[in-house]
Amino acid sequence: MISYLPLVFVFPLIGFLILAFGRGRLSENLAAIVGVGSVGLSAATTAYVGYDFLTHLPASGAYVVPLWTWMSVGTFNVEFALKLDGLSLTMLSVITGVGFLIHLFASWYMRGDDGYGRFLSYMNLFVASMLFLVLGDDLLFLYFGWEGVGLCSYLLIGFWYKDAANGAAARKAFVITRVGDTFMAIALFILYREFGTLNIDELQRLAPQAWAVGAPLATATAMLLLGGAVGKSAQLPLQTWLPDAMAGPTPVSALIHAATMVTAGVYLIARTHVLFELSPVAMQWVGGIGAVTLLLAGFTALMQTDIKKILAYSTMSQIGYMFLAEGAGAYQPAVFHLMTHAFFKALLFLSSGSVILAMHHEQDIFKMGGLYKKIPFVFACMLIGTLALTAFPFTSGYFSKDEILHQAYLTGHYELWAAGLFGAFLTAVYSFRLIFITFFGPERWRQAQAHGHGHGHDDHGHGAGEPHGAHTLDHHIPLAILLVLAVVGGYIHLPLSAVLPEAHIAGGDHGPAYIAHLPFVASMAGLVVSWLLFLQFPQVPAALARGAATAWIGKLWKNAWGFDWLYDALFKAPFVWAARINRNDFIDGLIGLIPAGLRGAASLATATQTGGLRWYAAVAGAGLCLLIAVVALH
Amino acid sequence: MTTSPEFWSIAVYIVAVLGLCTVMLGLSALLGGRSGARARNEPFESGVVSASPENLRLSAKFYLVAVFFVIFDVEALFLYAWAVSVRESGWVGFVEAAVFIFILLASLVYLARIGALDWAPASRKKRQALQVHPKNQGGASV
Amino acid sequence: MTSVQLWALLPLLIATASIVATMLAIAVYRHHRFCASVTVGGMNLALIAVVYDLITGDNLAVPVTGLMTVDAAARFGMVLILVTTLGVLTLCHAYFEGYKRNREEIYLLIGLGTLGALTLACATHTATLLVGIELLSLPMVAGVAYSMDERRAIEGGIKYLILSAAASAALFFGVALIYAHIGSLDLSAMSQALSAASLDQPLVLAGAAMMIAGLGFKLSLVPFHQWTPDVYESAPTPITAYLATVSKLGVFVVVLRLFHYGSSPISPLILTALVGLAVASMLVGSLLALRQNNLKRLLAYSSIAHFGYLTIVLAVPGDESLRAAGVYLATYLVTSLGVFGVMALVSSPMGERDAEHIDDYRGLFWRRPYLTSILTAMLLSLAGIPLTAGFIGKFAVISAGVGAAQWLLVGSLIVSSAISIYYYLRIVSALFSAVAAGSERVSEPMGWAQSFGGLMLVVAMIVMLWLGVYPQPLYLLSGQLAQH
C-alpha cells in the first residue's frame, strides 16, 4: 500500500507535463480534466495511503520508501527516499485535499482566461513541488521542493504578466524569499559540514549528541533555518512580499499564499524541531517573531481596503500564531492550526474570489456593501470562514487557536499568551469589519455605478453592473466542502504524537479557570467593537481619520508600519545610489578586462589556424620536440 | 643522465643516418659541376626533345589498376604463408583462409559491379554502344 | 580458438560480416535504404551480441591469441562505439538522402571505421593497435572527402590523410623505441614500462613522448590539434559527428590501457607531459572557439577542450577516475550526437552547402521549435549546465581531479568551462533571436521527426536529460571500465 506513495506527487507532475506540452492544443475542458483530475487522483492516493498508514501504524512512527540512489560519487552519496509519518501525512492531506478543492474552484474561476492551460500547469507543478517538499526525508530534497514552490509562486503571482505591476510583485516575492532561502542554504551547508549528511532522521539523532543545548553553532544553525522559514512564511522581517503577492489570481492566493506554501516555514521548524530545541535563544526568537508579526499584521489589516489584502494580512497574522506556538514548544497545536487555517483561509479566499468576480473584478470593499442579499451562498461561506478565523466556539479555528493560547500559558510564556489574546481581539475586529462593510450597510456599488454613468465614459469596464452570483457546481462544491471542513475540522485528531513532542508544561500550574475562556471573550469583544465602529457608528472611524495624530497612525497601519518604505530607504535607495554613482561601472571595467584579454588571446590562437598543411605539420613536429624535451630532459 | 649501451647504439645510429644524408647531399653540392645553359631546365627524356608540356593528365584508371594490383596481388601473398603450413594450421586455418578468400572474392564482385574494372567510363560506353548500332539511333530519331 | 573466444569475439565478427554484406548489397542492388538497413542491421546484431555478453556472462576477460582481450572495459567501449555508430548511421541516412552521387558507400566506410574502433577497444597488443588505428583512420579519409565535387572536401581529406599518417608514424616510432628497451609489444608490458619510466631510460621516455604525440593527434590534443577544425569543416556533417565521437572513443580506450591500467601510477615524467597537454587543450580549445562563427569549427574546438577535460582522468590513479572517464565519455557521446544530429538534419536538404554558419541558425526557434529545443538542451549539456548529462560528466571528472589534488587541471577546467559558456550561449541566443521575415537561410524538412535521424535525436534528448537527472545507473555501468 505504502509503495503507492510516490504516485502522490507523480500524478501532478504528469499533469504538469501534459498541460505544459499540450499548451494551446488542449481545449479548456480537457485542460481542466487533466489539471484537476491529476490533483484529484493524488488526493485519492493520499487518502488510500493515509488510511493504510493509520490502520497499520509503524513502530518507528514513520514509513520510509527508498526510491533510488540519485548519485554516488566516491563519498558523495545522495539517496532519495520518501518519508511518511504523522506530520507529512497531515501536510499531504492538506495539500492534496485542499489543493484539489482549490483546483476545482480555479477551473471555474479562470474560465475564459487566455492562459487557462498555463495556469493549471503551474498549479500542478506547484502541488508536485510542495509534495516533494513535505515527503523528502532529506533536507536537500526538502530544499529542492522549497525552491520549486518558490518558482511556482513567482510564476503564478506574475501570471497576468501583461501588467507590469504584477511582474514587479512577482519579482519582489521572489527576491525577498530568496533572502530567506540563502539563510537556509547556509544552514544546510553547516549541517552537512558538521554531520556529513542531510538526512533528517540522521540529523535528529546526531545533533543532540554533538551539540550541547545552547551551543553557539546550534544557535547559528537554528537561527539560519529560522531565516529560511521567516522568508517563506512571510513573518517579520521578511513579510513585505505577501500583500503584493495578491496580484496573482485568487485561487493562487488561496492555495499558495494562504493554505500551503506560506506554511512551509511552520513545517520546516516542526520538521527540524530537534535542532531548535538545542537553542533556547532561537526558540525565543521563533515565538517573539510570531507574536510581533501577528500584532503588526493585525493592526495593518484593520486599515486595508482591498479585500484580498485584508486576507493576506490575516494570513500573516495567523501564521504568526503558528510561530508563536512553536516558540512555546507547542508543535502539535501549531500544526493543528496550520491545518484548520488551511481550511478556513482557503474558504475565505475562494469566497472572496467569488465576490470579486461577482463585483466585476472590483477588490475595494468600500465599493461593495449589502451583498448578502445578492450572493447569499458566498456570504454564508464568508461568514463561516470568518467565524472560524475568529475562533468562534465549536468551529475549527476555535479548537486550534484555543489550544495554542492555552499551551502558551501553561508553558509559562505569558508574554506570548498576552500577545495572542490581544491578537484574537484584533482578528475579530478586522475580520468582521470585512464582513460588515462588504455584505451589510449601504450598497455603495450603486453609487459607483451612477458615478460612472454620470461621467459617461467609464471605459474601465469594471465597477459597473449588478453583482451576479455564480450558479455552477464547480463553484459550489469546493466552497461547500470547505465550509463543512471549516466547521468540523477541529474534531480531526492528528496522528502527530509519534513525531512531535508534547509541550513542556511547567509544574502542573493550570492557572485560574477563566484563562480558558479569555480568547472567546476577546473575540466577542472584537466582534462588538467592529459592529459598533463599522456598522452602527461609521462616523467614528471617519472622525478618527480626520484627527491629525489618529490619521497619522492610520496611515502608518495602512502602509503596514512602513516596512516597505524602510526597506526602500535602507536597502534599495543605497543600492540605487551606488548604482547611479557607478554608472560607468568601474568594477565592470575591471571585469571587462577579462573578456578583452580573452578576445586578444583568442585572436592570437586563431592566427595559428592558417589552414596550411605544412604549417600544421610543422607545429605538430615542434610540439613533438617540445614533448620529448619535457619528458626526456625533465 | 646515466647512459645505457642501447641508448648509445641508437644515438650512433641516428648520427650515422644524419651524417650519411649530409655527406651525400653536401658532397654532390661541393663536387658536382655547375652549368647554366638554355636547355638545362628542359625536361630530359633520353635525349628526345619533349613534345608536349610535362603536366599532362594521365587517366585515373592507371592508378586504379595499380591499386587493384597491389591489393589483390599482395593479399594473395598471404595465401603463400598459409600454403606452407596447411597441415599445421588444420581446419581452423582452412576456415580462416576460406573466409579470407571469400572476402577477396566479394570485393572483386563489388569492384566489377560498380564498374571499377571497366576501362572506359560509363558515358563513353554508352556512346560506343550507340555507334555500333547507328541505325537504331537514326530510326528512333526519325 | 575455443568457442568461448569465438563468442567473445562475436561482435567483431558480426561487424566484419555486415561490412562484407553491405559491399555485396551495393553490388547486387544499389538502393539507399536497403544498403543502409544492411549496415544498421549488422551493427544492431553486434550490439545485441555485446549486450547479451554483458548481461548473461560473468564478464570475464577472454584473451584471444594474445593480440586481443575481450574484457569488461572492452565490452563497455564496444557498447559505446556501437551505439554511437548507430546514431551516426541514422544521421547519414537522413543527410545523404538528397545527395546526387553514390550514397551507399558511406555505410561501408563507417562500418570499416567502426570495425577499427572495436578492434582498438579490445587491443592488448601493438600489432592490433596498428591495425585498429589504420582501419579507423583510412576510411575516414575517404569519408571526409566523400563529396568529391567540392574542393574543400578534397582538401580536408588530403590534410587528414597526410597528418594522420604522420601521427601514426610518430606513434609507431614511439612503440619501436619502447620495444627496444623492454623487448615486448604487449600493451600491458608497455603500460608497465610507462609507469616505471625513469630518467635513466631515455628510450622509454622518448618513446612515450612520441606515442603521446601520435595518440594526441587522434584525440586532437593541443599542439596536435590543428587539423581538427579544417577537417571537421570540410567533412559531411554525419562524418564530422563520427570523427568527433567514435573515432576518438576507440583511441581513448587504448590510451586508458596504456596510461591508466598499469599496476602502479604513471611515471611523474610522463604525467607532466600529459598534464601539459591537458591544460593546453582545455585553454587553447576554448580560446579558439570563443569568436568562431562557423558551428562545425566551433564544435571542433570545443571537442579539443572536451578531450582536454577527459585527459584529467589519466592524471588520477585509481578506479574512481576510470568511472569518471566512462561517465564523461557516455555523456559526451550522447550530447555530441545530439548537436551534430540537429546540424545534419538542418543541413541535409540544402545540397550545395551545410548549415554551419551561425547566421544559418538565427531565429531557428521560431521556425522549428522542437528541433531547436533539442539543440539548445544539447548545447547547454556541452556547457555543463546542471540537470543535463554534461554536468554529470564534468562533475565526475572534477571530483576525480579534486580527489587527487590536481589543482592545475581542475583550475584549467573551470576557466575553460567558464569561457565555453560564452560561446555556447552565443549560439543559443542566436537560435532565439528574432529574424526578419524572408531572410531565413535554412529550409529544413518538416517531417524530420518521422525520419530515423529525428527519432534518434528524440531518443538522445531523453537519454541526455535522464542521465542529467538520474545518473546512478551510468555510474554503475562505468564501473566496467575499471575491470580489466
Average pLDDT for A515-544: 81
pLDDT computed for residue B43 by the predictor: 66
pLDDT computed for residue C1 by the predictor: 64
> Is the model's pLDDT at C89 over the cut of 50?
yes
Q: Which residue range is the domain that position A627 belongs to?
A: 584-633
Average pLDDT for A543-556: 77
Q: Please name the residue ranges forming H helices in C221-294.
A: 227-234, 237-244, 246-259, 268-290
pLDDT > 90 fraction of chain C, expressed in percent and rounded = 58
Q: Which residue range is the domain that position C269 belongs to?
A: 3-482
In single-letter form, the type of residue at position C480 comes to: Q
Distances (CA, A) of C185 to C115, C174, C175, C258: 22, 11, 8, 12
Backbone phi, psi, residue A62, to 5°: -150, 145
List CB contacts of C2: < 8 A, sequence separation 6 or more: none
Which of C167, C217, C270 has the CB atom closest to A631's CB atom?
Answer: C270
pLDDT computed for residue C158 by the predictor: 93
**Residue A82 bridge partners (DSSP):** A65, A136
Chain B / chain C CB contacts < 8 angstroms = 37
DSSP-derived 3-state class of residue A261: helix
Per the structure, the count of domains in chain C is: 1
Position of cell 598543411? A613
How would residue C59 be classed by pLDDT, with cut points 50, 70 and 90? confident
Query: For C97-117, how does the pLDDT look when each residue is reduced to its tens digit (9 = 90+)?
Result: 878 788 899 999 999 999 999
Interface residue of C2, C16, C24, C205 to substitute, partner B, most B CBs within 10 Å: C24
Average pLDDT for C313-340: 91
Of residues A623 and A454, more confidence is placed in: A623
Q: Which of A408-417, A471-480, C293-302 is modeled with the greatest confidence? A: C293-302
> Is the model's pLDDT at C85 over the cut of 70?
yes
Per the structure, the count of domains in chain A is: 1
Three cell numbers written together for B131: 555507334
Q: What angle do CA C266, C267, C273 make, to 5 degrees?
A: 95
- pTM, 2 dp: 0.71
Query: For C190-205, how does the pLDDT look when each residue is reduced to its tens digit (9 = 90+)?
Result: 998 888 888 778 888 8
Average pLDDT for C38-46: 95
Residues C32 and C99: their CA atoms lie apart, in Å, by: 10
Residues A617 and C167: their CA atoms lie apart, in Å, by: 10
Contact with chain B for residue C204, Cβ under 8 A: no
Interface residue of C151, C218, C226 to substitute, partner A, most A CBs within 10 Å: C226
Residues A429 and A528: their CA atoms lie apart, in Å, by: 8
Average pLDDT for C292-320: 91
The torsion of the CA quartet A413, A418, A422, A425, rounded to 10 degrees, works out to 80
Q: Which of A1-5, A259-263, C432-436 is modeled with the greatest confidence? A: A259-263
> Is the model's pLDDT at C166 over the cut of 50?
yes
Nearest CA in chain B to C176: B10
Pair C389, C461: CB distance under 8 Å: no
> Is the model's pLDDT at C37 over the cut of 90?
yes
Chain C contacts of A613, Cβ < 8 Å? 158-159, 162-163
pLDDT computed for residue C442 by the predictor: 54
List CB contacts of A603: < 8 A, sequence separation 6 or more: C291
How would residue A208 be classed by pLDDT, with cut points 50, 70 and 90? confident
Lowest model confidence (mean pLDDT) among A79-83, A380-384, C31-35, C216-220: A79-83
Q: Which of A249-253, A356-360, A587-591, B102-106 is modeled with the greatest confidence? A: B102-106
In single-letter form, the type of residue at position C394 comes to: K
Q: CB-side exposure of A623: number of CA atoms within 13 Å? A: 28
Of residues A511 and A387, more confidence is placed in: A387
> Is the model's pLDDT at A74 over the cut of 70?
no
For residue C322, give how far its alpha carbon lies from the nearest alpha carbon of chain A (Å). Answer: 12
How would residue C19 be classed by pLDDT, with cut points 50, 70 and 90? very high
Three cell numbers written together for B68: 587493384
pLDDT > 70 fraction of chain C, expressed in percent and rounded = 95
Q: Do C213 and A624 touch (CB under 8 A)?
A: yes
pLDDT > 70 fraction of chain B, expressed in percent and rounded = 73
Average pLDDT for C75-104: 90
Q: Please name the residue ranges forming H helices in A215-279.
A: 216-232, 241-244, 250-254, 264-271, 273-277
How would residue A456 be classed by pLDDT, with cut points 50, 70 and 90? very low
Three cell numbers written together for B110: 563489388
Respond yes or no on whether the N-terminal peptide bond of residue C223 is cis (omega within 30° of 0).
Answer: yes
Query: For A291-340, how does the pLDDT look when each residue is reduced to its tens digit (9 = 90+)?
Result: 999 888 888 888 888 888 888 899 998 999 999 888 888 888 888 888 89
DSSP-derived 3-state class of residue A236: coil
Pair A36, A111: CB distance under 8 Å: no
Lowest model confidence (mean pLDDT) among A251-265, B41-55, C41-55, C279-293: B41-55
Residues C381 and A86: their CA atoms lie apart, in Å, by: 41
Closest by Cα among C186, C207, C171 to C257: C186
Of residues A581 and C259, more confidence is placed in: C259
pLDDT computed for residue C283 by the predictor: 93
> Is the model's pLDDT at C440 over the cut of 60?
no
Q: Please name the residue ranges forming H helices in A22-71.
A: 28-55
> Is the model's pLDDT at A60 over the cut of 90?
no
> Is the model's pLDDT at C214 over the cut of 70?
yes
Domains present along chain B, CATH in parentheses: 60-133 (1.20.58.1610)
Contact with chain B for residue C269, Cβ under 8 A: no
pLDDT computed for residue C391 by the predictor: 92
pLDDT computed for residue C300 by the predictor: 94
Chain A interface, Cβ < 8 Å to C: 68-74, 76, 595, 598-599, 601-603, 605-606, 608-609, 611, 613, 615-617, 619-620, 622-624, 626-628, 630-632, 634
> Is the model's pLDDT at B137 over the cut of 70?
no
Of residues C356 and C465, more confidence is placed in: C465
Closest by Cα among A332, A352, A468 to A400: A332
Three cell numbers written together for A634: 625533465
How would residue A460 be classed by pLDDT, with cut points 50, 70 and 90? very low
Contact with chain C for residue B122, Cβ under 8 A: no
Average pLDDT for C202-210: 89
> Is the model's pLDDT at C121 over the cut of 50?
yes
Distances (CA, A) of C458 to C46, C48, C335, C377: 23, 21, 12, 11
How would residue A518 be classed by pLDDT, with cut points 50, 70 and 90? confident
Query: For B102-121, how does the pLDDT look when each residue is reduced to its tens digit (9 = 90+)?
Result: 999 999 999 888 888 887 76
For residue C90, give how far its alpha carbon lies from the nearest alpha carbon of chain B (Å). Answer: 24
pLDDT computed for residue C445 by the predictor: 54
Could you tell me if residue A614 is inside a domain? yes
Pair C223, C282: CB distance under 8 Å: no
Query: For A111-145, how does the pLDDT look when each residue is reduced to its tens digit (9 = 90+)?
Result: 888 888 888 888 889 998 898 888 888 888 888 88
Could you tell me if residue A595 is inside a domain? yes
Residues A336 and A93: their CA atoms lie apart, in Å, by: 12
Closest by Cα among A347, A375, A335 to A359: A375
Average pLDDT for A5-27: 83
Query: For B39-76, how does the pLDDT look when each residue is reduced to its tens digit (9 = 90+)?
Result: 677 666 676 776 676 677 777 788 888 888 888 888 88
Mean pLDDT of chain B: 79
ipTM above 0.85, yes or no: yes
Average pLDDT for C458-472: 90
Mean pLDDT of chain A: 82
pLDDT computed for residue A401 by the predictor: 86
Could you tell me if residue A42 is inside a domain? no
Position of cell 506554501? A261
Alpha-carbon torsion (A541, A546, A550, A553), positive or negative? positive
> Is the model's pLDDT at A6 over the cut of 90?
no
Average pLDDT for C118-143: 94
pLDDT computed for residue A459 by the predictor: 40
pLDDT computed for residue A571 by the predictor: 81
pLDDT computed for residue A562 by the predictor: 76
Contact with chain A for residue C274, Cβ under 8 A: no
How would residue B23 be classed by pLDDT, with cut points 50, 70 and 90? very high
pLDDT computed for residue B138 by the predictor: 42
Chain A contacts of C212, Cβ < 8 Å? 627
pLDDT > 70 fraction of chain A, expressed in percent and rounded = 93
CB count in 10 Å sphere of residue C82: 27
> Is the model's pLDDT at C304 over the cut of 80?
yes
Taking each continuous run of H as one helix and of E as one strand, the counts in chain C are 20, 2
> Is the model's pLDDT at A240 over the cut of 80?
yes
Of residues A257 and A129, more confidence is placed in: A129
Three cell numbers written together for A276: 531548535
Nearest CA in chain C to B114: C27
For residue B138, give how far its alpha carbon lies from the nearest alpha carbon of chain C (Å). Answer: 31
How would residue A245 be classed by pLDDT, with cut points 50, 70 and 90? confident
